[in-house]
Amino acid sequence: MIWLRRLSGFLGCIALLVMVANTLLAVAARYFGMTGFEWSYEVAGIAFIWVTFLGTVLAETKGENAAFTVLRDALAPWLASALTRAADVAIGLIGLTLLLSSIAMLQRSAFVPTPLLRWPGFVQSGAAPVLGVGLMLIALLRVFRRTAIQRSAKA
C-alpha cells in the first residue's frame, strides 16, 4: 500500500501547488485590477477537487480517520477487530458505489467543456472514479493483509 500512499501524496502535492498558485494569481489579478485571469478561479476549483479526493486516499492509506480511531480504541479488542473489518468492507463498498456512479456521470458529461477554459469535463469529474478505485484498492489490500496475517498465525 506504500506505492498508493506515495502516488496519491505526490499527485496531491502537485494539485495543491496548482490550487495555491492559481488562487494567489486570482487574488493578485483582482487586487491589481488585471483582466484576463478569470480562468485562474476555474483551475483553482478543479485543483481543489483533486486535492480533496487524493487527500482522502492518502489519509485512508495511513489510517488517519480520527473519529473512527477514537471509537475503535474505546472498544474491547475483539469488537475493535470486528469494527475494523466492517469498516474495510464499507470502504470497499463506498469505493465501488462511487466508481459506478462516476462512470455513469462521465458517460453523460465527460466531454462537456468547462465554462472558461473549455477543457473537457473529465478533467474535473475524473477525480471521482480515481477516488473510487483508490478506496477499493485500499479495502482489498487491507482484507488480503488481514487474511494473510490470520493464516500465518494459525500455521
pLDDT one-digit tens code per residue, 4-33: 999 999 999 999 999 999 999 999 999 999
Q: pLDDT band at 71, cuts 50/70/90? A: confident
pLDDT at site 103: 97
- Averaged pLDDT, 42-58: 97
Q: Give me 79's grid cell.
A: 469488537
Question: What is the C-alpha separation between 155 and 150, in angstroms, rounded?
Answer: 9
14-49 exposure pattern, b = at least 16 Cβ within 10 A, e = fewer: ebbebbeebbebbeebeeeeeeeeebbbbbbebbbb
Q: How many CB atoms lie within 10 A of CB 149?
A: 10
Residue 78, domain extent: 2-154
The answer to whether the Cα torsion of 56, 136, 124, 102 is positive or negative is: negative
For residue 148, the model assigns a pLDDT of 86
CA distances from 75 to 71, 80, 107, 121 (A): 7, 5, 44, 45
Q: What is the pLDDT of residue 146?
A: 86
Q: Please count the structural domains in the chain.
A: 1
Q: What integer pLDDT is reported at residue 73 of this predicted model?
A: 87
Average pLDDT, the chain: 94
CB 139 within 8 A of CB 95: yes
pLDDT above 80 (res 109): yes
